[in-house]
Structure 1
Amino acid sequence: MTSAALEPRAGRRCHNALNTLHATSYFAPELGQEAAALGITHPRAVNFAVRAAALGPVGAGAVTAAFYNYKHELVARHVPAVWAIASPEDVLAARARAVDASMRRLLGADALSSPEMAQAARLALRAAEACSRSARPLYSAHADLPVPEEPHLAYFHAATLLREHRGDGHLAVLVSAGLDGLEAVVTHTATGKGMTPKWVYTTRGWTQEDWDAASGRLRARGLLDEEGELTPEGVALREEIEAETDRLDRAPYEHLGAEGVARLTELGAGFARAAAVAGAFPADLIGKG
């Protein structure tokens, strides 16, 4: 599919629409239920196992490196111990069951069997054809997994590929910008688009002391002011980070073409809105806290 050149940020908007639906899986009660049936009950262990399972039975170091913004001590508390409870293959199968059940609950059976879902899956999979494996461990690991037959699961699979492809590239940009994992989170939260500190502490293992120390380092660089807001230099850095991430992630959306990207964004945004209205996310997840 070819068409006119993509509009600025078109790929980013498309990714955001798809990623929103992908992210619902991490908050779905069905995921906890499926994991508990395998014997994995701690919420953090569930998160690490589900997202890292495609990598195989890796250790804590690999997960900390690939996830970037989690405190290593938290990761090491659950990895690799979680693989003694359930194999990566069993975890992946449990995730597929949980995604199927949660999408049915959030979107309804009619949406899952609709022509729109089938079209979204085709478009997202076509975009993913142009993803690159180089220096992208989470994307590359998920790209080794088979594409599910059911359109809604194929759509979720493709959304995962596109999410991890952009995410792996984003981490390279953060390293280049000199932001460690927590500093990246603090600056993202300061934009108003990231997780609130409460959720960072709960899910990433950082403490208020860690947050304050990271904020101090950012203030010393002139990126954060005394009120915890981004300075003009901080705003400019975040904009540069997103623009460079866009550049590293442009291939899938150029491959799909402007018309396909516009349609996939429209479909993805519709599914994401429906899931949000159905209560897919905690009300206090996003913001400055």
Structure 2
Amino acid sequence: MTSLPARAGRRCHHVLNPLYSTVYFSPDYPRELADVGVHDRETHFFIGRAATLGAVGPGVVTATFYNYNHELVARHVPALWRTTTPEAVVGARLRAADTTLRRLLGDDVIKSDAMAEAAGLALRAAEACTRHARPLYAAQADQPVPAEPHLAYWHASALLREHRGDGHLLALLDAELDQVEALVSHTATGKGMRPHWVLATRGWGRADWDAAVERLRGRGILASEGELTLTEAGEALRADLEERTDRLDAAPYEHLGAEGVERLTELGRGFLMTAVAAGGFPADLTGKG
């Protein structure tokens, strides 16, 4: 295997995943979902990904997503599969990704040699992803690779995102962080979603959040008072989580090699900066407050 610079795979993931995620904040996504019979917006942050699993029950979705409230999931699954199909939802998400990327990046980027190159690099990295113990990656890998380069890039980014994410959930479980504690501790890093976004999308209430804060304070992971602040032990825990995730997610980036990872990161960063400048994310999405 090729030796990569420290955290090279993580840095690459951190430019691929956000652009992939723009679809979930796009006005195109609810319109496409409504056209296939999905009208309740509280489903939007999980139903597109859950649909790749097929018409499974709520237990499977809750288990594979880790930090969603089971009551939220169970309100909609499997009821949605009586009014639409997983295939229709997966198609709606891909159409939304198409229109979203076209709007945020513009035709010149969509049709560029750089986009085709990035798609090829990301797909090559994904060749080394593995299905065992990675349900969301495996489900996404069952989807066909789109022909258009910008959608192939989005699909490959989804593969790499889910592969890393499945591994990260194993690290969270081993760190003995429950669903809400995982969310709170991530927000406390300043890099996660703000509390109001977490509560609006994951199905938890303020009481659930506050109780998790107190549990983390009791474990010495959060400072005892004031705004969400990680203690030294909390910072070490979150750093260890990322290191463990890196180890579990090394294969695709080792397969691509140092030069390929550096080039994919460079291209992906350019696309992401263009999308951010075009308003791809809510201004208040991340932070502690």
Instruction: Pick the TM interval, shorter chain.
Output: over 0.9
Shift of the alpha carbon at 1:110?
Answer: 1.4
1:276 counterpart residue number: 276
- Matches for 1:9-24 after TM superposition, within 5 Å: 9-24=7-22
Counterpart AA for 2:132: S
User: Residue 130 of structure 1 is aligned with which of 128, 131, 141?
Assistant: 128
> What is the alpha-carbon distance in structure 2 between the residues aligned to residue 85 and residue 49 of structure 1?
13
8 Å contact kept, 1:14–1:264: yes
2:172 counterpart residue number: 174
Counterpart AA for 1:38: V
1:53 counterpart residue number: 51
> What is the alpha-carbon distance in structure 2 between the residues aligned to residue 112 and residue 158 of structure 1?
15
- Matches for 1:181-200 after TM superposition, within 5 Å: 181-200=179-198
1:113 counterpart residue number: 111
> What is the alpha-carbon distance in structure 2 between the residues aligned to residue 282 and residue 213 of structure 1?
27
Specify every segment of 5 or more residues in structure 1 that has no aligned partner in the other structure, as ranges: none
1:248 counterpart residue number: 248
Shift of the alpha carbon at 1:137?
Answer: 0.1
- Aligned alpha-carbon RMSD (Å): 1.0
Shift of the alpha carbon at 1:221?
Answer: 1.0
1:90 counterpart residue number: 88
Runs of 4+ in 1 over 3 A off after TM superposition: none
User: Residue 81 of structure 1 is aligned with which of 76, 79, 96?
Assistant: 79
Specify every segment of 5 or more residues in structure 2 that has no aligned partner in the other structure, as ranges: none
Q: After superposition, what is the alpha-carbon deviation per residue over 1:127-158, rounded to whole angstroms, capped at 9, x for unaligned?
A: 00000111000000111111111000100000
Shift of the alpha carbon at 1:45?
Answer: 2.0
User: Residue 203 of structure 1 is aligned with which of 181, 201, 204?
Assistant: 201
1:238 counterpart residue number: 238
- Matches for 1:144-163 after TM superposition, within 5 Å: 144-163=142-161
> What is the alpha-carbon distance in structure 2 between the residues aligned to residue 194 and residue 269 of structure 1?
19
8 Å contact kept, 1:130–1:252: yes
Q: After superposition, what is the alpha-carbon deviation per residue over 1:171-204, rounded to whole angstroms, capped at 9, x for unaligned?
A: 0000000001110010000000000001011001
8 Å contact kept, 1:49–1:82: no
User: Residue 7 of structure 1 is aligned with which of 5, 8, 27?
Assistant: 5
> What is the alpha-carbon distance in structure 1 between the residues aligned to residue 90 and residue 137 of structure 2?
15
2:139 counterpart residue number: 141
> What is the alpha-carbon distance in structure 2 between the residues aligned to residue 162 and residue 44 of structure 1?
25
Counterpart AA for 1:270: G
1:101 counterpart residue number: 99
Deviates more, 1:157-166 or 1:103-112: 103-112
Q: TM-score, normalised by structure 2?
A: 0.97
Shift of the alpha carbon at 1:72?
Answer: 0.9
Counterpart AA for 1:39: G
8 Å contact kept, 1:70–1:204: yes
